[in-house]
């Protein structure tokens, strides 16, 4: 089946491009003897995680406990959860995961450490953790200079095992162009170096020194301290990565196929993919480098200037390239958000033939379903 026969809107993933992306990052990491533990909240799919493992991923970072449990159930090991926990139900899930696999929790404070420790004591389980260090995103994390102080305080929690430090330079998405990315790489590497040195001076060594984002990967991969990288978006790339030249148009694996269905005015076309396919994201963490709501492949002159739930509004500069009935493929601004809006990816080859459907099987609220 060719993509022209598919009901639109549809989320397509070009397998060759996806494999190119996985291979490119894997090769670069291998060059510096670094590990990649991808952030899987980008794709929320066991099959995609399996592909990442085939391309050298030795562990995984999760944005939800659902993702961590699904990986564990599927037999994956080396599973890290990216954020602190405080709710009892989450702590119980952390304990269950720690019994089943090499699970690592991230923490950034004493209060939640004590909560997890007390529950772990009752369950006779040891919980491994990394301390989150703030490298500038200001979402979780202690100041790098305070790392030893926190680890020393948390060491009074007998059932917690310190494994190292983690950070995420997500504020890189404030970069408006390629040159600006290097400033965030410096933030990332300096924060890590400061924390590592402060810990070393206190006689504390780190087995895991983990960090990462897709744009900073290329500058930070040769860092002397970081040993595990957590790119997420790299598997697909998107219009935001194009805006900082982290990826080219040809390296964007995920697109939304839409049909042009209306031409009510001279300068207005409407297609059948809206906010419920493309997402409303115009850039994470304050990015102002993209305009509009996605990039129409092959048509840089077309602007998606507005979205309804099910429709996008398009206008063109100069000669109009569109016609009613045309199929267009749109690279979303933020592929991680778009991927969370579909039940499956339609996998295509370079000739636009459909190869298979891959379920997005780890999105939504699995807990609610399980506890019904
Ligand atoms: C903690 C953490 N690490 C890594 C990533 C991956 O970042 P990126 O998608 O830029 O590769 C994310 C994504 O938001 C994240 O929240």
Task: Say whether pLDDT at 285 is over 70.
Answer: no
Ligand 1, atom 15: closest residue by C-alpha: 168
pLDDT confidence tier of residue 112, bands split at 50, 70 and 90: very high
Q: Name 25's Cβ contacts closer than 8 Å, sequence gap at least 6.
A: 36, 217, 231, 234
Question: Counting atoms of ligand 1 from 1, which one is nearest the CA of 173?
Answer: 10
Q: What is the pTM of this model?
A: 0.95
Choose which residue among 232, 239, 284, 336 to substitute to test ligand 1 binding: the one with the highest number of ligand atoms within 8 A of its C-beta. 232
Q: Name 196's Cβ contacts closer than 8 Å, sequence gap at least 6.
A: 165, 206, 209, 225
Question: Counting atoms of ligand 1 from 1, which one is nearest the CA of 215?
Answer: 10
pLDDT confidence tier of residue 319, bands split at 50, 70 and 90: confident
Share of the chain above pLDDT 70, in %: 97
Q: What is the pLDDT of residue 371?
A: 54
Ligand 1, atom 2: closest residue by C-alpha: 168
User: Residue 154: what are its φ and ψ, rounded to 5°?
Assistant: -70, -20
pLDDT confidence tier of residue 147, bands split at 50, 70 and 90: very high
Residue entry with tokens 């139900």 = 89
Q: What is the pLDDT of residue 281?
A: 81
Query: Of 254-258, 291-295, 330-334, which range is least confident?
Result: 291-295
Q: What is the pLDDT of residue 364?
A: 80
Query: Are the beta carbons of 144 and 166 closer than 8 angstroms?
Result: no
**Can you count the helices (H) and strands (E) in the chain?**
12, 17
For 215-245, the pLDDT digits (tens) are 999 999 999 999 999 999 999 999 999 999 9
3 state SS of 231:
coil
Mean pLDDT, the chain, as a whole number? 95
pLDDT confidence tier of residue 172, bands split at 50, 70 and 90: very high
| Ligand 1 pocket at CB < 6 A | 39, 42, 61, 82, 168, 170, 212-214, 230-234
Distance 214 CA to ligand 1 centre (A): 7
- Going by C-alpha positions, the residue among 73, 71, 30, 81 that lies closest to residue 48 is 71
Distance 83 CA to ligand 1 centre (A): 11
Distance 336 CA to ligand 1 centre (A): 10
CA distances from 238 to 62, 227, 235 (A): 20, 26, 10
Ligand 1, atom 7: closest residue by C-alpha: 213
3 state SS of 365:
coil
3 state SS of 364:
coil
Choose which residue among 25, 39, 60, 134 to substitute to test ligand 1 binding: the one with the highest number of ligand atoms within 8 A of its C-beta. 39
Q: What is the pLDDT of residue 349?
A: 97
Task: Say whether pLDDT at 102 is over 80.
Answer: yes
Number of other CB atoms surrounding residue 356 within 10 Å? 12
Query: Are the beta carbons of 116 and 107 closer than 8 angstroms?
Result: yes
Q: What is the pLDDT of residue 367?
A: 57
């Amino acid at each position: 089946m060719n993509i022209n026969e598919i009901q639109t809107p549809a989320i397509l993933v070009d397998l060759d491009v996806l494999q190119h992306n996985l291979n490119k990052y894997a090769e670069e990491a291998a060059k510096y003897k670094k590990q990649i533990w991808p952030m899987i909240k980008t794709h929320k799919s066991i099959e995609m995680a399996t592909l990442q493992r085939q391309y050298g991923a030795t562990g995984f970072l999760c944005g939800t406990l659902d993702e961590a449990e699904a990986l564990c159930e599927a037999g994956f090991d080396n599973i890290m959860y990216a954020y602190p926990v405080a709710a009892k139900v989450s702590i119980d899930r952390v304990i269950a995961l720690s019994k089943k696999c090499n699970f690592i929790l991230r923490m950034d404070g004493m209060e939640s450490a004590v909560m997890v420790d007390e529950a772990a004591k009752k369950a006779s389980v040891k919980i491994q953790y990394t301390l989150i260090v703030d490298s500038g995103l200001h979402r979780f994390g202690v100041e790098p200079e305070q790392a030893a102080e926190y680890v020393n305080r948390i060491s009074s929690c007998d059932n917690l095992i310190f494994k190292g430090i983690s950070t995420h330079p997500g504020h890189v998405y404030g970069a408006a162009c390629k040159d600006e990315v290097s400033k965030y790489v410096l933030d990332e590497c300096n924060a890590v170096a400061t924390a590592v040195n402060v810990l070393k001076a206190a006689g504390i060594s780190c087995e895991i020194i983990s960090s990462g984002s897709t744009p900073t990967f290329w500058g930070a991969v040769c860092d002397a301290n970081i040993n595990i990288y957590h790119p997420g978006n790299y598997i697909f790339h998107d219009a935001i990565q194009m805006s900082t030249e982290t990826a080219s148009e040809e390296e964007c694996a995920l697109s939304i196929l839409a049909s042009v269905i209306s031409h009510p005015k001279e300068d207005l076309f409407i297609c059948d993919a809206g906010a419920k396919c493309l997402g409303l994201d115009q850039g994470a963490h304050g990015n102002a480098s993209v305009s509009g709501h996605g990039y129409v492949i092959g048509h840089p002159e077309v602007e998606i200037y507005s979205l309804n739930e099910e429709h996008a509004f398009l206008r063109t500069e100069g000669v109009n390239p569109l016609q009613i009935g045309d199929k267009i493929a749109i690279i979303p601004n933020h592929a991680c958000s778009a991927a969370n809006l579909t039940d499956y990816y339609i996998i295509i080859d370079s000739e636009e033939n459909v190869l298979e459907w891959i379920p997005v099987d780890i999105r939504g609220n699995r807990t609610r379903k399980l506890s019904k």
